[in-house]
Structure 1
Amino acid sequence: MCKMMKQNLLVRNTSLLSGGVMAASGGWLALNSSVLNGFGYALLAMAGAAMLLLAWRIGARDRFTAWAVFFAWCLGAGTALPSGWLAFFGDNWGWAGWVVWAAVAASPALIFPARLTPLALSGGAVISSLTPIGMMNPIVAAMAFFPGMSWAGLLLSIALLTLPSITNKKLFALSLVAALTVGAALGLRNGLQLPPETAWAVETREGAHPKLAVEWFARQARMTARVKDGVEQGARLVVTPEGAVDSWDAWSEFVWKDAAALAEDHRAMILVGVYRHEAGNRIWQDGLMDPVTGEFYGAAVPMPISMWKPWNEKEHYPFDFTQIARTIKTPVGEAAYLICFEELLVWPLVARMVTGEPEFLISASNQWFTNASTAEAQERSVKLQARMWGLPLLRSVNWPR
């Protein structure tokens, strides 16, 4: 009896270890690796998702082991987080934050029944995709299997994660191979679409906002020159990166006045990434400003801790759910939009697809604090989402100097 118990424990631990290693590798492969370019990112996401499904099938024998496998996936998917957080916050909490986030993100697995069921797997994935824990979710990786399939693709992405509930080993293996084959075949015919030729995204390497006024004006001069050049060359829509203007006020309006007038004369639209707030108020908003009309399209979900921080008496970006259902009417068609942290989440774009009929996707990000590996997950996530929804992607980013 004792010998049998030891053997069972060894098998259990070996299965958990192999499942954990496989899940962590899958998370990294799906959302962080840059081994392949072009269509390759979708193949990597499919391979990573398949590894998670195998890991759950091998290593998840009860609630704890299901959580441990999911936790390993989150660790692998979030390997770039510590370096990004350390660069952003400038302290030593990056590594601890990575582990705590992964543990919390995997927590829905703790309510799984003893035997994995389709409802438990799909429900756990959906719950774990919700903010503020929802970044790098396996649903995003599963979207790689269903390019251009829109709502059907979303449902199939969630359904794909239920494969580990298949008890028959041969049927499970056959289903997984079939999914990979179909996903690769669909991917050859449905890649990421390009935005309209008259829609321009400004990409910059300006780094962090300058502190000296003379440097601030020089930076704005470079930005407005890029925008005006685009309009003069025939662009009907020009988008700048998130936070191109660090504080939208009377000075900013004055600096952007000529660019706005030029856009109005050419019947074009410019969307400027801005942070705005009222004087004396700690509440800030992150979003895209149309300087011609004064219309502001805000982010619904700010980055937790660095922006969303209700405990801070000087600066706080609240969740703004009045923005979640908005789309933008542009001269080149209706657009959904995602700003910074929203690119890592599934549900903001889902909400905008419910309320509108967007023809393409605008994304704006300010990644001044990142390195190449840190930015990979965010770019991968927004590309996979746009690809599944069949939306051309217009992405404007500010990179480090």
Structure 2
Amino acid sequence: MDRQRVLIATVVANAGDNTYVIVLPESVLGFWTPTVERLWREALRGGNLTVIAGAAVLDGSGYDNVLVAISANQSEILYRERMPVPGSMWQPWRAWTGDAGGARAHFFTNPVVVAGGNRIVPLICYEQLVVWPALQSMLHSPDIIVATGNGWWTSGTSIVAIQQASSIAWAKLFGLPLVSAFNR
């Protein structure tokens, strides 16, 4: 909880008077629980700020890598990742053998989500490098691309730079603005 409080304080301190949305990186919230939700909503009370941030939603069969939208009035799971990294995250063979675990892939769901009246193309980490999620999203006339990533484990590599270059290329190709948030 101390880590959440520090993150909340950082967000609130950096939100200007005309800031309505702040985007944070993949997995920055850790596990999305009712306690974490309540802590964030209470901290945002009295303002018009919405935070879009990465988290993991766990259940008995595995987890979803998600983006949540949090404001003083509500929170929701905004997006469930369509293409987690095969092998390290997405492990479909576990279900075939009766084992639980791994991230779920939501291939055909939520190619565009709505937040703050904008139609958003969410691309989490590996999705920025794969053709399918971006092209699927572009079929739905989006307004903006929101690319998040978790690069702390890539120290000394060019992985985050490649993801960012890929996101910039998607934005330029389709003439859309890009907001990105990565941790390192």
Same fold by TM (over 0.5)?
A: yes
Question: Which residue does the alignment assign to 1:336?
Answer: 121
- Matching residue's letter, 2:57: R
Structure with the greater alpha carbon radius of gyration:
1
TM-score (norm 1): 0.41
The within-5 A match list for 1:193-204 is: none
Counterparts of 2:125 and 2:143 in 1: how far apart (Å)?
20
Counterparts of 1:374 and 1:298 in 2: how far apart (Å)?
22
Counterparts of 1:360 and 1:349 in 2: how far apart (Å)?
12
CA deviations 1:144-180 (Å, max 9, x no partner) are xxxxxxxxxxxxxxxxxxxxxxxxxxxxxxxxxxxxx
The within-5 A match list for 1:187-198 is: none
Counterparts of 2:19 and 2:44 in 1: how far apart (Å)?
14
Counterparts of 1:245 and 1:253 in 2: how far apart (Å)?
10
Counterparts of 2:69 and 2:114 in 1: how far apart (Å)?
10
Question: Which residue does the alignment assign to 1:325?
Answer: 111
CA contact (8 A) 2:31 2:55 kept: yes
Counterparts of 1:323 and 1:223 in 2: how far apart (Å)?
30
CA contact (8 A) 2:25 2:148 kept: yes
- Matching residue's letter, 2:112: R
Question: Which residue does the alignment assign to 1:285?
Answer: 64
Give the superposition deviation at 1:308.
0.3
Question: Which residue does the alignment assign to 2:37?
Answer: 253
Counterparts of 1:269 and 1:291 in 2: how far apart (Å)?
5
CA deviations 1:158-206 (Å, max 9, x no partner) are xxxxxxxxxxxxxxxxxxxxxxxxxxxxxxxxxxxxxxxxxxxxxxxxx
CA contact (8 A) 1:289 1:295 kept: yes
Counterparts of 2:2 and 2:11 in 1: how far apart (Å)?
14
CA contact (8 A) 1:260 1:270 kept: no
1:244 to 28, 50, 53: 28
Task: Work out the number of aligned pairs and report it.
Answer: 176
Q: Quick check: 1:219 aligned with 2:3? A: yes
CA contact (8 A) 2:112 2:119 kept: no
CA deviations 1:72-96 (Å, max 9, x no partner) are xxxxxxxxxxxxxxxxxxxxxxxxx
Q: Quick check: 1:308 aligned with 2:90? A: yes
1:350 to 130, 135, 138: 135
Question: Which residue does the alignment assign to 1:269?
Answer: 50
List runs of 5+ in structure 1 lacking aligned partners. Answer: 1-216
Question: Which residue does the alignment assign to 2:154?
Answer: 370
CA contact (8 A) 1:324 1:351 kept: no
CA contact (8 A) 2:27 2:56 kept: yes
TM-score (norm 2): 0.85
Give the superposition deviation at 1:370.
0.4
Give the superposition deviation at 1:387.
1.2
CA contact (8 A) 1:336 1:360 kept: yes
Of all paired residues, the percent bearing the same amino acid is 26
The within-5 A match list for 1:93-108 is: none
List runs of 5+ in structure 2 lacking aligned partners. Answer: none
CA contact (8 A) 1:248 1:274 kept: yes
CA contact (8 A) 2:111 2:122 kept: no
Give the superposition deviation at 1:254.
3.0
Helix, strand or coil for the counterpart of 1:380? helix
